[in-house]
């Protein structure tokens, strides 16, 4: 996807995607911005996103982009300081 996630095919009212890394920092940063998702039950590195309205989904995507960009920037800074 545009965000680099790997969605899992499903026929439910939620989406599960593999982040390829620990999901907790990402979930916490979204929560700090009042966007709530969770780790997929029993699936390390996977997030579970419940579907919402069109507007809610647009907000989710924008906030996810912001958080992912921030985490990439933070990782780069840690790498260059090391």
Q: How far is residue 9 from each of residues 18, 42, 62, measured CA to CA in Å?
A: 11, 17, 22
Per-residue pLDDT of 59-71, as tens digits, reads 999 999 999 998 8
More confident residue, 6 or 30: 30
- Please report which confidence band the pLDDT of residue 58 belongs to, taking 50, 70 and 90 as the band edges: very high
More confident residue, 71 or 24: 24
Q: What's the token pair of residue 30?
A: 């979204």
State yes or no: pLDDT of 82 exceeds 60: no
Angle at 49 between CA 15 and CA 42, to 5 degrees: 80
pTM higher than 0.95: no
Are 51 and 61 in contact by the 8 Å Cβ rule? The answer is no
CA distance 51 to 59: 12
Tell me the average pLDDT of the chain: 87
């Amino acid at each position: 996807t545009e965000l680099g996630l790997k969605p899992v095919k499903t026929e439910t009212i939620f989406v599960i995607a593999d982040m390829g890394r620990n999901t907790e920092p990402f979930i916490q940063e979204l929560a700090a911005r009042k966007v709530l998702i969770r780790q997929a039950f029993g699936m390390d590195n996977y997030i579970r996103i419940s579907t919402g309205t069109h507007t809610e989904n647009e907000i989710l995507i924008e906030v996810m982009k912001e958080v992912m960009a921030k985490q990439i920037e933070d990782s780069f800074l840690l790498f260059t300081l090391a």
